């Protein structure tokens, strides 16, 4: 196995199913109420883990990956709700930076600022993010064959996926009403997508100086239709996208 050990995190099982199937010579370690699966993915030394839903679960898991399992870098793959105008279900968003939209310690600190860091936006690692973006372009860019069969594309009304890059916001809330997503758009107009873990991973990685990157497939538009077929979507579409993306990242040119 080659390369520094990479921790690959997802929140829920369907997001990671394909990766787990592709993992070679694996063994599982139970730690802090999570299963960490160690092995090789396309020759790279990796640890796969499901962190569970929400910021605390993500922060605890990230800490374990770095401290207990010696991961030198982290990658998060999962799903998110779309906020940006042109971000549609089935598109892929790569995070340049992440912010906790539900963090508000005013008047002690400005809204969104993580106390005593002077920061509200935590940057993903530039080089790793560039590599992830290139991988996403190779998998989803113009001319790439669709990973999803025609019937499924039709069932979900999927267009050819587009790759976006920018701000992703996280909070301990599933955003599923138009009023809530409108409020987020108003206060954070450059946010492309909303989810429940990424900014927590970013904060812990910042504390440890560990580089990380994050990609999310859009499962919903974070509005009143956000619950519809969510489970079916991550099962059929998001897991295939995560698998293809990680393979392209670890085996460029494959």
Question: Which residue, 79 or 243, is less far from ligand SAH as judged by CB?
Answer: 79
Locate tokens 């587009």: which residue?
Answer: 162
Residue 246's Cβ-side half-sphere holds a number of Cα atoms within 13 Å equal to 34
- Shortest Å, Cβ 221 to ligand SAH: 8
Question: Which residue, 81 or 161, is less far from ligand SAH as judged by CB?
Answer: 81
Task: Name the residue among 18, 19, 56, 51 with its Cα closest to residue 35.
Answer: 51
Active site residue 113: no
Active site residue 207: no
**One of 102, 220, 224, 229 is an active-site residue; which one?**
220
The answer to whether the beta carbons of residues 117 and 221 sit under 8 Å apart is: no
- Shortest Å, Cβ 84 to ligand SAH: 13
* Cα–Cα distance measured from residue 41 to residue 54, given in angstroms and rounded to the nearest whole number: 26
Locate tokens 């370690």: which residue?
Answer: 29
Q: For residue 108, what are its two tokens?
A: 């002690």
- Shortest Å, Cβ 27 to ligand SAH: 26
Locate tokens 């069932």: which residue?
Answer: 155
Question: Which residue, 41 or 196, is less far from ligand SAH as judged by CB?
Answer: 196
The answer to whether the beta carbons of residues 222 and 185 sit under 8 Å apart is: no
Question: Which residue, 10 or 129, is less far from ligand SAH as judged by CB?
Answer: 10
Q: Kindly list the residues in this chain that would bind ligand SAH in the complex (CB under 6 A).
A: 11-12, 53, 78-81, 174-176, 194-197, 219-220, 222, 226, 230-231
- Shortest Å, Cβ 19 to ligand SAH: 16
Give the active site residues: 15, 220
């Amino acid at each position: 196995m080659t390369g520094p050990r990479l921790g690959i995190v997802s929140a829920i099982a369907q997001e990671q199913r394909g990766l787990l199937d592709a993992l070679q010579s694996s063994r599982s370690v139970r730690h802090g109420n999570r299963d960490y699966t160690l092995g090789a993915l396309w020759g790279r030394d990796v640890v796969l883990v499901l962190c569970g839903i929400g910021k605390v679960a993500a922060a605890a898991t990230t800490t374990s990956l770095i401290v207990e399992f010696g991961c030198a870098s982290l990658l998060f793959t999962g799903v998110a709700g779309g906020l940006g105008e042109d971000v549609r279900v089935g598109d892929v968003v790569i995070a340049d930076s992440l912010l906790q939209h539900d963090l508000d310690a005013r008047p002690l600190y400005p809204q969104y600022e993580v106390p005593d860091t002077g920061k509200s936006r935590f940057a993903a690692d530039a080089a790793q993010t560039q590599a992830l973006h290139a991988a996403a372009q190779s998998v989803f860019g113009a001319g790439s064959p669709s990973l999803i069969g025609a019937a499924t594309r039709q069932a979900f009304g999927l267009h050819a996926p587009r790759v976006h890059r920018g701000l992703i916001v996280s909070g301990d809330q599933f955003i599923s009403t138009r009023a809530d997503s409108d409020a987020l758009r108003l206060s954070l107009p450059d946010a492309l997508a909303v989810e429940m873990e990424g900014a927590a991973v970013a904060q812990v990685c910042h504390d440890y100086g560990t580089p990380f990157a994050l990609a999310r497939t859009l499962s919903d538009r974070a509005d009143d239709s956000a619950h519809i077929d969510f489970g079916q979507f991550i099962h059929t579409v998001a897991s295939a996208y995560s698998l293809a993306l990680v393979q392209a990242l670890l085996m460029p040119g494959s």
